[in-house]
């Protein structure tokens, strides 16, 4: 999930479990929920006292256990047996298993139908695809002889034959590698030898086609077999390693269909199971049938000898893997352990994976390693045994020295070149050596247990190790997956009064003697008394039920109109080259392809081929003779009768290029070296004199000046919205009109460019947007080009065209978050008497990687400059931002819009200063937080009348004291002293996020409101719904205004023919804009119907008032509009101070007031790091956010959780990789490597904080927004970086000097964490100085 942060999904799913409350962790220490405790009034337990305090303070508190309990009550009370039976009722009756003496749904004929179906399934099948898609021929044999006969007949024919069980490999080959297989076999489950799993006295026998889930289930059965079974111990010791590895193998969905035989046959060099099978001495049974009337021939080969090269195995074409025989592990003194490390724990392929097996034998004075097997994946082009290392160990004493020498041998055996495919050469070698050390510690613990269980026999002494070494024995592979739980606190619902009290007042109200705010407060309190409030309540997301059932309609779900065509973009395959020629004729020769369009066709339409949100520096379709500026640049579009045909056509188009001299500029460093900048958009902020002079001192006012300088890099991020870009373009009126259904945050921008490029008046182009499956800024500008392509094709063909980008295409060409580089010099004054440290001066240059087109790169950099102070006061400040032009795809808006990157650089500088001053980061941060009436470097003053209440110091102190952070840090330090290989860390950071578009004209919004005669209300506004709950909040505002139930207000969609000239839904401003605009429209209607209402009895329903107003010819529709006050938005970078500008006003305030107010917050995180692998888990997170007076606390908490987890992903596991100087193994240069879920990892369930507590600050009204609320979409994103700082804290503990500075680049991937620990194992695998070593990255 990319939106929720997983916690609510976990709660809802867990409520379906019968044992949801078996875990004591969901209750109080006594086992009873506090509010259900019979001793509630007298109980003095902390949990009860705290809860009663919250209740008395008007704070609503809800925990995971509360929600689970509520969900279960709802499920039990609201749904009938019919509702529960829906899945069975919908399932085909013919496939329901036969149940004796049972009639399904009263249909007595079901038994006979099922029996007939089962008979059919016992017969062999052959299905041939004779359509234009040419899907090949499928066979389903029902006995082994038939299967082997098919292989004998077709194995050596053209195209051969492929056996498919779960389609987990073949599906990838056909979709992404465009492989074509003319014949495929899916063996029937009636071939028992392929599917059965059973054990004998010597082996586990695993059918090659049995699913991995079934194997995992059987392993669990063997592990829990009866103790009376004489083989119980052996079965457990054999099954557990397989079971543990399978738990982390891909996903449950993949394991349900994938099989072990397929895993072995595809011979992936990074397979998890193959090294384990090789280490365990597994034997493959290969079956064949040389002649039709002959016997089945079986051949046995060890798994360790099966892999002969990259994706090559020791198997003849006509042979089939029938089963895998795994020898049972001995009942004692033989040990097996699986290891893996990936970019993400769940559902990810390994970077390095390993299986290790060892047998030790007691000798006179020690234990001897009598047998050992070590197999690796990810260390070579195939699964390999570490034969030299094994030879160096076998026969040696079982001691730490033996394994230390073995690590040296392992390094010699597997050291890889710098440009090895897959990269990460040093890290992969470090992992292999670390796994070996883990195996030693694992075996030592198991040996102690074996010896301890047989005290009657005398054994030689067991090797000893320091106690702190024991923590390295186990990793996440063998541990139980954690649950997610949390607590959510928010103020009691109320209707607060905000900007509407003054901004929407009419002339009559303004002339009244009663203050406007007082009147508004009175109205709000009156509505609370009458229980007619809609604002302030935690209402369900308007589309929530449809999201849950899968019935919510997105752009690609719209039913196909008549004559629909499908589109596929023609994309450039290289960059830094001139496109000389394009030939579409091969595409037109493919059956089912209707047309192909290029820039020449746009010229025929009379359209303008230029595009771009700020600069018109892009092309809809690249013209011949122009330079290709990024890999994947659109050249044209092919349309066909199906998606597959269109894609085939697009791939067949021939494009000729002329290479340019020199290499493409890819990274920020490349751009700096080449001087590749948009210099017109280089901006700076300066205050307090010359920072360079301020930093060139040794003392100031008798205080020592400590100066640091360095750099910090943070990488990009892929939006990974769950719905890729999708457009349905429908022409009408003989192609003169266009209706565009698009997944976009910017309907008007989409309308403008579709009109511009197709030469159609904007009034004849309607863009409609129902809902998006996520946007996060990625559909603010980068969705437009695909809509334009579909519009061009629809207009030229005069037929509807659907263009939905594949995930890999979307990720390849739409850009993402900008990578940043900060180069800084900073100084702080140290009071040597008190130990206090005050920030003094900062001089920083920041660069962002904008890609090849400007898009929104300049504004993103500007917001980074506005946030590079974060929450800290620097008296002398100088920051310069330079946008870099490279050959990456155009980068664009992403949640936070440059703010998080600026704040990340700020926090890194704070860490550096703290380390150099030998002061804790917590103290340095707290002592240098802005205070009320302080000013930012860009001239905004903190305080109620300026930006609203400045609450960060209050929130910092509250969380610091409530959590007792010093105690938590001390506990982490104590833990770290006792554990060498597992370290804990703590992170605690603040944030402020400016709310407004930095472009002044964009701070406006409109809404159209209709009141119908039945008392219901339809709202249309300029914002778009992308899951953030905007429509729900707007409906609450309207419902509150009219005093009607929330369900009586509806938003249908966002459409340019209802509300025109709209602003993109971005900058977290939408509720501020459209809530106010909607309220404006509502009040216009209310003012018109007030005389009607006054003429009717008190308490008359709105529907009766509306009906009477209609008959009295009163207009029941209104257009509302809102714009942020002129003096509360906009910033002119080049404006000089006017002559005579008052000196008591802040420096730079003459340039403008870039933000209306700040949303503020603080976050605390605790993590645990596995030093030997770089793996980490987030144990706990506590977040406190000031969101004003929340319009909908449930949605706001959801936004906080979702933003936090997305921010946590950006700074930990989400790494974007390009073909650059650091990744020369990727081709062509500048190509995006991370183009799908296989290579790019967003957080999964197991990455979410195990305890995730979120609180909304109470009594935090905001006079500058509707109903005193605050924007919430983007501000909490940066708080996810508290996890990054907790990891950094843990790494510092591993390095041995927590006060010594080091640069940990962002994201903190497992590679960066592992290599930053600088222990002896990692250091021996690095080239160069270990303390300054930096893993490769794309910045």
- Give the per-residue pLDDT at 520: 56
- Give the per-residue pLDDT at 105: 47
Q: Report in angstroms the alpha-carbon separations of 1327 from 351, 427, 1094, 1313.
A: 20, 11, 84, 17
DSSP for 632-648, written as a single string: T-EEEEEEESSHHHHHH
Question: Is residue 112 scored above 90 in pLDDT?
Answer: no
Question: Is residue 100 scored above 60 in pLDDT?
Answer: no
Is residue 414 within 8 A of residue 387, CB to CB? The reply is no
Rounded distance between C-alpha atoms, residue 1189 and residue 1072, angstroms: 13
pLDDT single digits (tens) 738-759: 999 999 999 999 999 999 999 9
Rounded distance between C-alpha atoms, residue 596 and residue 585, angstroms: 9
Is residue 729 within 8 A of residue 637, CB to CB? The reply is no
Rounded distance between C-alpha atoms, residue 979 and residue 1325, angstroms: 23
Rounded distance between C-alpha atoms, residue 83 and residue 726, angstroms: 33
Residue with the two structure tokens 């092309």: 619
List Cβ neighbours of 846 (8 Å cut-off, separation of 6 or more).
Answer: 820, 821, 822, 823, 861, 864, 865, 868, 879, 880, 881, 882, 901, 902, 905
Rounded distance between C-alpha atoms, residue 1055 and residue 660, angstroms: 44
Please report which helix (H) or strand (E) contains residue 288, including its range: strand 283-288
Rounded distance between C-alpha atoms, residue 1059 and residue 748, angstroms: 9
Is residue 864 within 8 A of residue 684, CB to CB? The reply is no
Share of the chain above pLDDT 70, in %: 94
Rounded distance between C-alpha atoms, residue 1049 and residue 1043, angstroms: 11
Rounded distance between C-alpha atoms, residue 910 and residue 932, angstroms: 21
**Hey, is 704 helix, strand or coil?**
strand
Is residue 876 within 8 A of residue 687, CB to CB? The reply is yes
The set of long-range contacts for 14-19, using a CB threshold of 8 Å and a minimum separation of 24, is 14/64, 14/68, 14/483, 15/67, 15/68, 15/69, 15/71, 15/72, 15/75, 16/75
Q: What angle do CA 661, 664, 667 make, to 5 degrees?
A: 155
Closest listed residue to residue 680, CA positions, set 759, 744, 617: 617
Residue with the two structure tokens 């904007």: 762
Residue with the two structure tokens 């002119």: 1132
The two structure tokens encoding residue 162: 């492929």
Closest listed residue to residue 1209, CA positions, set 1279, 1307, 1088, 1296: 1307
Question: Is residue 599 scored above 60 in pLDDT?
Answer: yes
- Give the per-residue pLDDT at 894: 98
Across the beta sheet with 384-385, the strand order is: 334-342, 350-362, 367-377, 384-385
The two structure tokens encoding residue 891: 């980068």
pLDDT single digits (tens) 765-816: 999 999 999 999 999 999 999 999 999 999 999 999 999 999 999 999 999 9
In angstroms and rounded to an integer, the radius of gyration of the C-alpha atoms of the chain is 33
Please report which helix (H) or strand (E) contains residue 658, including its range: strand 654-659
pLDDT single digits (tens) 1008-1058: 999 999 999 999 999 999 999 999 999 999 999 999 999 999 999 999 999
Across the beta sheet with 577-583, the strand order is: 627-628, 577-583, 654-659
Rounded distance between C-alpha atoms, residue 1192 and residue 540, angstroms: 9
| Residue-averaged pLDDT of the chain | 93
Task: Count CB atoms within 10 A of the CB of residue 797.
Answer: 19
Q: What is the DSSP code (8-state) at residue 546?
A: H
Phi-psi region of 341 (alpha: psi -120 to 50; beta: other; left: phi over 0): beta
Q: What is the DSSP code (8-state) at residue 1024?
A: -
- Give the per-residue pLDDT at 1088: 97
Closest listed residue to residue 625, CA positions, set 578, 582, 660, 658: 578
Q: Classify residue 953 as exposed, middle or buried by CB count within 10 Å of its CB (0-12, 13-18, 19+).
A: middle
pLDDT single digits (tens) 537-564: 999 999 988 988 889 999 999 999 999 9
Residue with the two structure tokens 């910033």: 1131
Residues 731-735 have a mean pLDDT of: 93
φ/ψ of 1201, rounded to 5, equals -65, -45
Question: Is residue 132 scored above 60 in pLDDT?
Answer: yes
Structure confidence at residue 104 as a pLDDT band (50, 70, 90): very low
Q: How far apart are the first and last CA of the chain?
A: 26
Q: Which residues pair with 1253 in a beta bridge?
A: 1182
Is residue 1299 within 8 A of residue 918, CB to CB? The reply is yes
Rounded distance between C-alpha atoms, residue 236 and residue 329, angstroms: 9
Closest listed residue to residue 855, CA positions, set 812, 901, 817: 817
Question: Is residue 836 scored above 50 in pLDDT?
Answer: yes
Rounded distance between C-alpha atoms, residue 398 and residue 462, angstroms: 9
pLDDT single digits (tens) 328-338: 999 999 999 99
Residue with the two structure tokens 């250091």: 1323
Q: Report in angstroms the alpha-carbon separations of 445 from 337, 449, 468, 668, 1242.
A: 12, 6, 13, 49, 35
Is residue 637 within 8 A of residue 596, CB to CB? The reply is yes
Closest listed residue to residue 1040, CA positions, set 557, 505, 581, 496: 496
Q: Is residue 1274 flagged as an active site residue?
A: yes
Residues 1054-1064 have a mean pLDDT of: 97
The two structure tokens encoding residue 540: 């369900």
The two structure tokens encoding residue 138: 């499928």
Rounded distance between C-alpha atoms, residue 1225 and residue 416, angstroms: 13
Residues 954-970 have a mean pLDDT of: 97
Rounded distance between C-alpha atoms, residue 747 and residue 1042, angstroms: 28
Q: Report in angstroms the alpha-carbon separations of 1264 from 924, 937, 1000, 1028, 1076.
A: 31, 22, 16, 21, 11
**Count of positions (residues) in the chain:** 1339
Question: Is residue 25 scored above 70 in pLDDT?
Answer: no
pLDDT single digits (tens) 288-317: 999 888 899 999 999 999 999 999 999 999
**Hey, is 233 helix, strand or coil?**
helix
Question: Is residue 1183 scored above 50 in pLDDT?
Answer: yes
Rounded distance between C-alpha atoms, residue 1215 and residue 718, angstroms: 8
Which H, E and C letters describe 773-802, residue by residue? Answer: CCCCCCCCCCCHHHHHHHHHHHHHHCCCEE
The two structure tokens encoding residue 573: 């395959």
DSSP for 548-586, written as a single string: HHT----GGGSPPPTT-EEEEEEE-S-SSEEEEEEE-HH
Is residue 1071 within 8 A of residue 1033, CB to CB? The reply is yes
Residues 1241-1248 have a mean pLDDT of: 94
Is residue 877 within 8 A of residue 688, CB to CB? The reply is yes
Q: Which one of 81, 1274, 1303, 1311 is the catalytic residue?
A: 1274
Rounded distance between C-alpha atoms, residue 1077 and residue 25, angstroms: 46
Q: What angle do CA 727, 729, 731 make, to 5 degrees?
A: 175
Question: Is residue 510 scored above 70 in pLDDT?
Answer: no
Please report which helix (H) or strand (E) contains residue 960, including its range: helix 952-962
Rounded distance between C-alpha atoms, residue 206 and residue 204, angstroms: 6
């Amino acid at each position: 999930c990319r939106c929720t942060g997983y916690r609510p999904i976990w709660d809802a799913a867990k409520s379906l479990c019968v044992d949801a409350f078996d875990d004591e962790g969901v209750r109080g220490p006594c086992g009873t929920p506090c509010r259900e405790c019979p001793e509630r009034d007298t109980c003095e337990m902390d949990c009860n006292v705290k809860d009663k305090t919250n209740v008395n303070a008007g704070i609503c508190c809800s925990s995971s256990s509360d929600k689970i309990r509520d969900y279960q009550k709802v499920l039990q009370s609201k749904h009938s047996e019919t509702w529960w039976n829906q899945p069975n009722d919908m399932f085909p009756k013919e496939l329901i298993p036969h149940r004796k003496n049972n009639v399904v749904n009263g249909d007595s004929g079901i038994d006979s139908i099922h029996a007939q179906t089962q008979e059919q399934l016992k017969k062999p099948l052959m299905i041939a695809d004779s359509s234009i898609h040419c899907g090949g021929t499928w066979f389903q044999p029902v006995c082994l002889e038939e299967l082997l006969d098919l292989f004998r007949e077709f194995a050596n024919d053209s195209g051969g034959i492929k056996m498919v069980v779960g389609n987990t490999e073949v599906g990838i080959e056909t979709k992404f590698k465009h492989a074509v297989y003319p014949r495929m076999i899916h063996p029937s489950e009636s071939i028992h030898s392929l599917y059965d799993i059973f054990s004998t006295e010597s082996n586990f026998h695993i059918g090659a086609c049995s699913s991995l889930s079934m194997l995992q289930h059987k392993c669990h059965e063997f592990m829990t077999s009866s103790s009376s079974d004489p083989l119980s111990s052996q079965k457990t010791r054999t099954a557990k390693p397989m079971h543990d590895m399978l738990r982390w193998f891909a996903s449950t969905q993949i394991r349900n269909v994938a099989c072990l035989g397929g895993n072995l046959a595809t011979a992936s060099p990074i397979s998890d199971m193959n090294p384990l099978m090789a280490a365990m001495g597994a034997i493959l049974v290969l079956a064949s049938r040389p002649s039709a009337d002959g016997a089945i021939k079986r051949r046995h080969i060890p798994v360790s000898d099966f892999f002969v090269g990259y994706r090559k195995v020791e198997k003849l074409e006509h042979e089939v893997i029938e089963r895998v025989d795994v020898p049972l592990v001995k009942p004692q003194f033989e040990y097996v352990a699986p290891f893996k490390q990936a970019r993400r724990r769940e559902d990810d392929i390994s970077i390095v994976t390993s299986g290790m097996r060892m047998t030790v034998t007691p000798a006179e004075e020690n234990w001897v390693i009598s047998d050992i097997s070590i197999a690796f994946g990810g260390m070579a082009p195939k699964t390999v045994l570490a034969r030299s290392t094994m030879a160096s160990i076998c026969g040696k004493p079982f001691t730490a020295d033996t394994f230390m020498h073995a690590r040296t041998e392992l390094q010699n055996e597997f050291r890889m070149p710098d440009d090895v495919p897959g990269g990460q050469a040093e890290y992969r070698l470090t992992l292999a050596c670390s796994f070996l050390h883990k195996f030693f510690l694992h075996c030592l613990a198991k040996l102690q247990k074996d010896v301890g269980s047989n005290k009657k026999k005398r054994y030689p002494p067991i090797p000893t190790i320091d106690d702190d070494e024991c923590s390295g024995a186990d990793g996440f592979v063998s541990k139980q997956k954690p649950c997610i739980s949390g607590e959510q606190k928010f103020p009691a619902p109320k209707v607060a009064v905000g900007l509407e009290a003054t901004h929407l007042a009419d002339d009559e109200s303004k002339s009244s003697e009663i203050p406007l705010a007082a009147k508004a407060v009175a109205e709000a309190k009156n509505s609370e008394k009458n229980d007619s409030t809609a604002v302030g309540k935690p209402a369900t997301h308007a589309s929530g039920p449809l999201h849950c059932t899968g019935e919510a309609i997105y752009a690609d779900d719209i039913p196909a109109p008549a004559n629909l065509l499908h589109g596929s973009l023609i994309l450039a395959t290289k960059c830094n080259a001139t496109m000389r020629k394009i030939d579409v004729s091969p595409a037109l020769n493919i059956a089912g392809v209707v047309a192909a369009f290029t820039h020449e066709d746009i010229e025929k339409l009379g359209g303008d081929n230029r595009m771009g949100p700020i600069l018109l520096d892009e092309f809809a379709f690249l013209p011949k003779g122009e330079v290709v500026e990024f890999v994947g640049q659109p050249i044209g579009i092919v349309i066909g009768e199906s998606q597959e045909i269109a894609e085939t056509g697009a791939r067949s188009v021939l494009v000729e290029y002329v290479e340019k001299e020199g290499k493409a500029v890819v990274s920020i460093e490349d751009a700096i070296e080449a001087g590749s900048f948009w210099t017109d958009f280089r901006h700076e902020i300066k205050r307090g004199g010359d920072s360079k002079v301020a930093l060139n001192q040794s003392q100031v006012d008798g205080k020592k000046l400590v100066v640091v300088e360095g750099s910090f890099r943070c990488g990009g991020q892929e939006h990974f919205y769950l719905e890729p870009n999708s457009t349905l373009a429908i022409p009408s009126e003989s192609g003169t009109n266009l209706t565009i259904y698009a997944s976009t945050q910017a309907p008007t921008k989409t309308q403008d460019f579709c009109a511009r490029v197709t030469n159609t008046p904007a009034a004849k182009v309607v863009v409609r947007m129902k809902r998006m499956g996520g946007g996060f800024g990625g559909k603010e500008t980068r969705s437009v080009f695909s809509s334009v392509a579909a519009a061009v094709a629809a207009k030229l063909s005069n037929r509807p065209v659907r263009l939905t980008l594949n995930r890999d295409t979307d990720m390849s060409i739409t850009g993402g978050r900008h990578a940043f580089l900060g180069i800084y010099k900073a100084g702080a004054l140290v009071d040597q008497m008190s130990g206090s440290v005050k920030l003094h001066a900062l001089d920083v240059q920041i660069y962002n990687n904008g890609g090849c087109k400007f898009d929104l790169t300049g504004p993103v950099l500007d917001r980074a400059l506005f946030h590079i102070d974060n929450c800290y006061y620097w008296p002398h400040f100088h920051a310069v931002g330079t946008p870099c032009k490279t050959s990456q795809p155009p980068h664009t808006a992403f949640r936070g819009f440059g703010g998080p990157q600026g704040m990340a650089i700020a926090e890194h500088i704070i860490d550096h200063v703290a380390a150099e001053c030998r002061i804790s980061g917590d103290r340095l941060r707290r002592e240098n937080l802005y205070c009320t009436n302080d000013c930012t470097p860009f001239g905004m003053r903190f305080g109620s009348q300026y930006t609203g209440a400045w609450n960060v110091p209050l929130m910092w102190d509250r969380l610091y004291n409530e959590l007792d952070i010093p105690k938590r840090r001390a506990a982490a330090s104590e833990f770290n002293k006792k554990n060498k290989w597992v370290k804990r860390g703590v992170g605690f950071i603040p944030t402020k996020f400016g709310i407004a578009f930095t472009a002044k004209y964009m701070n406006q919004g409109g809404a159209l409101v209709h009141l119908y005669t039945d008392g219901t209300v339809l709202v249309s506004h300029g914002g778009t719904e992308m899951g953030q709950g905007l429509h729900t909040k707007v409906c609450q505002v309207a419902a509150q205004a009219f005093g009607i139930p929330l369900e009586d207000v509806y938003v249908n969609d966002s459409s340019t023919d209802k509300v025109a000239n709209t602003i993109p839904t971005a900058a977290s401003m939408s509720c501020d804009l459209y809530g106010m605009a909607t309220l404006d429209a509502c009040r216009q209607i209310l003012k018109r119907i007030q005389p009607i209402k006054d003429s009717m009895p008190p308490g008359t329903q709105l529907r009766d008032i509306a009906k009477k107003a209609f008959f009295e010819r009163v207009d029941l529709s209104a257009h509302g509009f809102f714009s942020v006050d002129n003096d509360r938005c906009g910033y002119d970078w080049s404006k000089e101070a006017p002559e005579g500008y008052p000196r008591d006003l802040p420096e730079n305030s003459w340039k403008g007031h870039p933000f209306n107010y700040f949303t503020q917050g603080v976050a605390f995180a605790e993590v645990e790091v596995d030093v030997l692998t770089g793996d980490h888990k987030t144990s706990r997170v506590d977040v406190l956010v000031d969101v004003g007076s929340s319009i909908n606390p449930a949605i706001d908490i959801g936004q906080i959780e979702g933003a936090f987890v997305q921010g946590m992903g950006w700074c930990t596991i989400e790494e974007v990789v390009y073909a650059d100087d650091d990744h020369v193994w990727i081709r062509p240069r500048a190509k995006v490597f991370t183009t799908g879920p296989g290579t790019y990892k967003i957080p999964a369930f197991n990455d979410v904080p195990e305890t995730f507590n979120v609180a909304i600050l109470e009594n935090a009204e905001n006079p500058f927004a509707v109903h005193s609320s605050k924007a919430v979409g983007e501000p909490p994103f940066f708080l996810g970086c508290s996890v990054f700082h907790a990891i950094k804290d843990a790494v510092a503990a591993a390095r041995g000097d927590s006060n010594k500075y080091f640069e940990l680049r962002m994201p903190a991937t497992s590679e960066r964490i592992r290599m930053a620990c600088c222990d002896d194992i990692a250091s021996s695998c690095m080239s160069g100085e270990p303390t300054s070593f930096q893993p490769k990255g794309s910045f």
